[in-house]
């Protein structure tokens, strides 16, 4: 039986399960710190489900910061025609890896 929740974090909605890790936009903190995600939109637990309108007030997801990482590199290449003007830039997003410990 899978227990899961749908939470809103970092401007995204994620389907999270206990014991799995997820990469979100950078969250300030040290590895090992506990983070509580309280914008829970939906919970499925023990064959019962709860839907928030828009959020559940009495629910949260307990997560732990595993480490801070950087995302894959994106290349931004701009060309201005007939001007011989070229600009190549790279970007790597700062991410935080969270481990979901418990859905409360």
Q: What percent of the chain has pLDDT over 70?
A: 99
Query: What CA–CA distance (Å, rounded) separates 46 from 53?
Result: 21
Query: What CA–CA distance (Å, rounded) separates 45 from 23?
Result: 23
What number of other Cβ atoms are within 10 A of residue 27's Cβ? 18
Q: Cα 92 to the chain's mean position, in Å?
A: 16
| Stated pTM of the model | 0.84
pLDDT tens sequence across 19-69: 999 999 999 999 999 999 999 999 998 899 999 999 999 999 999 999 999
44 touches 5 (CB < 8 A): yes
- Domain extents in the chain: 4-103
| Cα atoms in the Cβ-side hemisphere of radius 13 Å centred on 95 | 14
């Amino acid at each position: 039986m899978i227990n899961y929740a749908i939470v809103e974090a970092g401007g995204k909605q994620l389907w999270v399960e206990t014991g799995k890790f997820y990469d979100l936009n950078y969250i300030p903190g040290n590895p090992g710190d506990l983070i509580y995600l309280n914008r829970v939109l939906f919970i499925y637990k023990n064959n019962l489900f709860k839907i928030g309108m828009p959020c559940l007030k009495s629910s949260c997801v307990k997560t732990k910061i595993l480490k801070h990482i950087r995302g894959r590199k994106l290349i931004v290449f701009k060309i201005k025609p007939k001007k011989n003007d070229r600009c190549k830039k790279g970007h790597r997003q700062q991410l935080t890896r969270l481990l979901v410990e418990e859905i409360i």
